[in-house]
């Protein structure tokens, strides 16, 4: 008997520790079905056997199911709120900040954070932890080379100051790269860092089920220092944040209470 989608998700969890049942089924199933078809398979069990026998295909599969859409200063008005309202409060309370960019994709977000923090601190005092489940995305982040479209929302002075341009590609300054530590991390199963003053997790939670999101909000709460801030994406406002002992301080910014 051919496998169901549920059979496939259980097998993938055992193989990769990625729990596909925590993602919205309709969206994820559509992505996976498309990938299976493009690779000339028709059944889940057939495709699974291919995954366990072909390491490159498995790596491609893991990279494909993780959604990587990012740019510098994405939703720029929110970064303005971060600069003018949130960071001054955090710096006044804590001084030096512990910042975690979760699900950082190809690095635009943590690098944006370094550039913004350089408005407040010398570069050598800035250190950001940036994590993602996608190994290929992390390699691109470490490389730090971007197309012009990724920089469309970035303040022009930052482009001039922190990038060199060659053959239409923008390479970020090594001084910025050195302030970010990239690590592979699975939000659903791996331990979270602790005592973070600011956690940025944007435009990834929309792909999870409500149950999975609730668990992640609780884990983010526990990862924050007292009065620490969680910064979420523009489609990810938390309904009833008090359920997770969080309080809205600005739209898309939530304080641990």
Range 81-109 burial, b when 16+ CB lie within 10 A, else e: bbeeebbeebeeebeebbbbbbbbbbbbb
Q: Do the Cβ atoms of 86 and 231 come closer than 8 Å?
A: yes
The tokens for 251 are: 């739209």
Dihedral angle computed from the Cα positions of residues 137, 141, 143 and 146, in that order, rounded to the nearest 10 degrees: 100
* C-alpha 80: how far from chain center: 20
Q: Do the Cβ atoms of 257 and 225 come closer than 8 Å?
A: no
What pLDDT band is residue 68 in, cutting at 50, 70 and 90?
low
Q: Tell me what the pLDDT averaged over the chain comes to.
A: 92
Give mean pLDDT, residues 54-73. 81
CA distance 218 to 238: 12
Q: What is the DSSP code string of 130-191? A: EEES-HHHHHHHHHTEEEGGGGTTS-HHHHHHHEEEETTEEEEPHHHHTTEEEEE--TTTSP
**pLDDT the model gives residue 62:** 82
What pLDDT band is residue 158 in, cutting at 50, 70 and 90?
very high
CA distance 29 to 143: 31
Give mean pLDDT, residues 149-163. 93
199-232 pLDDT per residue, tens:
999 988 888 888 999 999 999 999 999 999 999 9
Judged against a pLDDT cut of 80, whether residue 141 lies above it is answered with yes
**pLDDT the model gives residue 67:** 65
Q: Do the Cβ atoms of 86 and 250 come closer than 8 Å?
A: yes
Q: Do the Cβ atoms of 256 and 245 come closer than 8 Å?
A: yes
Residue 14 phi/psi, 5-degree rounding, is -65, -35
Q: In what order do the strands lie in the sheet with 99-101?
A: 180-184, 128-132, 99-101, 196-201, 224-232, 253-256, 246-250
CA distance 46 to 38: 14
Residue for token digits 């490159």? 56
**pLDDT the model gives residue 115:** 96
Judged against a pLDDT cut of 90, whether residue 142 lies above it is answered with yes
Q: Which of 18-27, 38-47, 63-72, 77-86 has the lowest mean pLDDT?
A: 63-72
Judged against a pLDDT cut of 90, whether residue 236 lies above it is answered with no
What pLDDT band is residue 16 in, cutting at 50, 70 and 90?
confident
- What SS3 state is found at 129? strand
74-132 pLDDT per residue, tens:
888 999 999 999 999 999 999 999 999 999 999 999 999 999 999 999 999 999 999 99
Judged against a pLDDT cut of 80, whether residue 37 lies above it is answered with yes
Q: What is the pTM of this model?
A: 0.83
172-198 pLDDT per residue, tens:
999 999 999 999 999 999 999 999 999
**pLDDT the model gives residue 49:** 92
**pLDDT the model gives residue 8:** 92
Q: Do the Cβ atoms of 135 and 162 come closer than 8 Å?
A: no
């Amino acid at each position: 008997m051919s496998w169901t989608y549920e059979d496939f998700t259980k097998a993938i969890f055992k193989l990769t520790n990625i729990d596909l049942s925590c993602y919205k089924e309709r969206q994820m199933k559509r992505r996976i079905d498309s990938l299976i078809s493009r690779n000339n398979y028709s059944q889940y069990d057939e495709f699974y056997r291919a995954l366990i026998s072909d390491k490159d295909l498995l790596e491609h599969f893991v990279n494909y199911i993780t959604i990587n859409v990012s740019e510098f200063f994405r939703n720029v008005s929110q970064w303005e709120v971060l600069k003018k309202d949130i960071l001054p409060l955090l710096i006044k309370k804590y001084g030096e900040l512990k910042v975690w960019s979760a699900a950082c994709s190809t690095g635009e977000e943590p690098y944006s954070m370094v550039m913004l923090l350089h408005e407040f601190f010398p570069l050598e005092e800035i250190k950001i932890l940036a994590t993602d489940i996608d190994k290929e995305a992390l390699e691109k982040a470490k490389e730090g080379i971007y197309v012009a479209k990724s920089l469309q929302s970035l303040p022009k002075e930052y482009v001039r100051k922190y990038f060199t341009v060659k053959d239409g590609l923008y390479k970020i300054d090594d001084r910025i790269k050195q302030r970010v530590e990239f690590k592979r991390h699975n939000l659903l199963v791996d331990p979270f860092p602790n005592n973070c003053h600011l956690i940025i997790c944007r435009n990834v939670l929309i792909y999870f089920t409500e149950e999975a999101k609730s668990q992640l909000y609780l884990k983010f709460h526990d990862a924050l220092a007292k009065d620490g801030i969680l910064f979420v994406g523009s489609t990810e406002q938390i309904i009833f944040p008090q359920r997770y002992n969080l309080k809205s301080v600005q739209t898309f910014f939530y304080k641990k209470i």
